[in-house]
Chains A and B, each alone.
Chain A
């Protein structure tokens, strides 16, 4: 079944909340336009966690993309959407 963009966003929010165990990501305050590093404060290890958790959750495989390719939460949702098509 094709997941809607909103459903992907919700699942991604779940991942981001648990991304670093530091409780630094308050998902309710953020939207698709929120920036991963400058607004959510994710470190390189948090982003590694995010990528691995996305692969596990959505059953997709990230190509060799650089983390700087994703600026916002929306960028990641778009990437997952593209992979699920």
Chain B
């Protein structure tokens, strides 16, 4: 398989205003980017949190003071253990613009896990949110050498940002990795900045926008695509402290871009239909949707509301963004065009990556995720003639049939999910009453679409539609048993379906 190089950003030019496109420039370090932002957007609102607006200049003033609190004699790792807040943003910027590594710890971690992370990731100082202070007691008792710093600390000293290099480590982020065991991925400054700049491609206008933050900053999708790209583009970011208040926050702040997971986008759509109004506000132009498969149905429904729902593909290990789809309406099943400065290879269907945005490696784990310097994603992909990527499944989910054929359940499920009446589906290997191994399908119907049809026997209709799709599949991909569920599938905390393991 040829190596696909994405050395040019020209593929994205046609989707963006010429002047805007010219403003998208590569940058190697967060410090350079941040100082440039403070110069260019000094009086612009950077963050709105808890009823207060903070300009870029104010944020730098507060970050400079916090640098005074975390400053050390040499480069260190600083844990940030806090929920989304202005203080989080201030502390994160202070740490990384000193050339230190921020270890971002999700606020929901318990005391023992935080202690374990301090040990595993070699944390020298831990910045904590006052409400989480109790969870740091064990660190104080067992590791008095780890300095604990309240996130609201005022040092009274102002320290300047330090210009480092692209290779300087920047953040360690939590990830399930390609095998599902949680570990820390180390991203250097160049990787974080490439992820940040990638977030600008594929929109008509990306500067001076209004973002509403609903994702945790402890996830790359929240930290890089939401916070970092928002700062880079001189945009304002409103921090939604509690997702149940997001629609009230939307009414006040009127965001123009939102970064969401599909489950949340789907919920907002259902609420908008129930209450007969656009719950996301009339100013919203784009929803950046990722971290799970985007159903094509959502793309077309949002388009009817004048909102572009743009899917993409990324990993924690790739500083979030590998590809983005500026043609979501024409190619709703694609995860888009690969972003610049990467190399892609497809080896036996699996996507392998190299590039400026890739992590330096996992911390505290020896996992063989590489081959000849290529990062093996574990994701099965295909690419069309226009260069658009499609995810067809995960290697570990592949079903090997008795005749030796390999079936990727996700690829088959995508065909059934394309039906409006289907909400979600699962293809799995089962054993029938004769003891023969077969492919089986279970689906969860989409109630609102079925209600629209006013059918007497919805089950019969759904079965017929599914059978039509089944007949269109390659012979070895066809399912021999169809079940229509009356309950959702069991789901993981990140809303992914818990896959059946009926045959091992």
**Are A and B subunits of one complex?**
yes
With an 8 A cutoff between CB atoms, is B163 at the interface?
A: no
Docked-complex contact A22 and B275, CB < 8 angstroms: no
Mark interface residues in B213-247 (1 if CB within 8 Å of A CB, else 0).
00000000000000000000000000000111011
Q: What is the CA–CA distance of A56 and B267 in the complex, to the nearest angstrom?
A: 14
Distance to closest chain A CB from B245 (angstroms): 9
Docked-complex contact B244 and A23, CB < 8 angstroms: no
Which residues of chain B have C-beta atoms less than 8 A from A24's C-beta?
A: 444, 485-488
Which residues of chain A have C-beta atoms less than 8 A from B274's C-beta?
A: 18, 53
Nearest residue (CB) in B for A56 is B275
Docked-complex contact B488 and A49, CB < 8 angstroms: no
Distance to closest chain B CB from A72 (angstroms): 18
With an 8 A cutoff between CB atoms, is A28 at the interface?
A: no
Mark interface residues in B460-504 (1 if CB within 8 Å of A CB, else 0).
000000000000000000000000011110010101000000000
Which residues of chain A have C-beta atoms less than 8 A from B486's C-beta?
A: 23-24, 26
Mark interface residues in B293-337 (1 if CB within 8 Å of A CB, else 0).
000000000000000000000000000000000000000000000
Which residues of chain B have C-beta atoms less than 8 A from A49's C-beta?
A: 267, 270-271
Distance to closest chain A CB from B492 (angstroms): 10
Which residues of chain B have C-beta atoms less than 8 A from A64's C-beta?
A: 242
Which residues of chain B have C-beta atoms less than 8 A from A48's C-beta?
A: 243-244, 267
Which residues of chain B have C-beta atoms less than 8 A from A22's C-beta?
A: 423-424, 444-447, 488
Docked-complex contact A23 and B263, CB < 8 angstroms: no
Q: What is the CA–CA distance of A70 and B448 in the complex, to the nearest angstrom?
A: 26
Docked-complex contact A43 and B491, CB < 8 angstroms: yes
Which residues of chain B have C-beta atoms less than 8 A from A58's C-beta?
A: none
Residues 11-69 of A at the B interface (beta carbon under 8 Å): 17-18, 20-24, 26, 41, 43-45, 48-49, 51-53, 55-56, 62, 64
Docked-complex contact A51 and B244, CB < 8 angstroms: yes
Q: What is the CA–CA distance of A71 and B263 in the complex, to the nearest angstrom?
A: 23
Distance to closest chain A CB from B13 (angstroms): 37
Q: What is the CA–CA distance of A4 and B418 in the complex, to the nearest angstrom?
A: 43
Distance to closest chain A CB from B12 (angstroms): 32
Nearest residue (CB) in A for B243 is A48
Contact of A52 with B244 at beta-carbon distance under 8 Å, contacts A21-B448, A23-B446, A24-B444 already known:
yes
Select which of A23, A45, A52 is within 8 A of B447 by beta carbon: A23
Distance to closest chain B CB from A67 (angstroms): 9
Nearest residue (CB) in B for A40 is B487
Docked-complex contact A45 and B264, CB < 8 angstroms: yes
Q: What is the CA–CA distance of A22 and B488 in the complex, to the nearest angstrom?
A: 7
Q: What is the CA–CA distance of A43 and B243 in the complex, to the nearest angstrom?
A: 15
Q: What is the CA–CA distance of A74 and B416 in the complex, to the nearest angstrom?
A: 37
Q: What is the CA–CA distance of A17 and B444 in the complex, to the nearest angstrom?
A: 15
Docked-complex contact B267 and A45, CB < 8 angstroms: yes
Q: What is the CA–CA distance of A24 and B271 in the complex, to the nearest angstrom?
A: 17
Which residues of chain B have C-beta atoms less than 8 A from A26's C-beta?
A: 486
Nearest residue (CB) in B for A42 is B488
Select which of A17, A18, A43 is within 8 A of B488 by beta carbon: A43
Docked-complex contact A18 and B487, CB < 8 angstroms: no
Docked-complex contact A21 and B447, CB < 8 angstroms: yes
Contact of A18 with B448 at beta-carbon distance under 8 Å, contacts A48-B244, A53-B274 already known:
yes
Which residues of chain B have C-beta atoms less than 8 A from A41's C-beta?
A: 487-488
Distance to closest chain B CB from A19 (angstroms): 8
Distance to closest chain B CB from A50 (angstroms): 10
Contact of A20 with B243 at beta-carbon distance under 8 Å, contacts A43-B495, A45-B267, A53-B271 already known:
no
Q: What is the CA–CA distance of A20 and B448 in the complex, to the nearest angstrom?
A: 10
With an 8 A cutoff between CB atoms, is B399 at the interface?
A: no
A-B contact pairs, 19 of them (CB 8 A): A18-B447, A21-B266, A21-B423, A21-B446, A21-B448, A22-B424, A22-B444, A23-B423, A23-B444, A23-B445, A24-B444, A24-B488, A41-B487, A43-B491, A44-B493, A45-B263, A45-B495, A52-B244, A53-B271
Which A residues lie at the B interface, using CB under 8 A? 17-18, 20-24, 26, 41, 43-45, 48-49, 51-53, 55-56, 62, 64
Closest 10 CB pairs of A and B: A23-B447, A41-B487, A45-B263, A24-B487, A51-B244, A21-B270, A22-B488, A49-B267, A24-B488, A22-B444
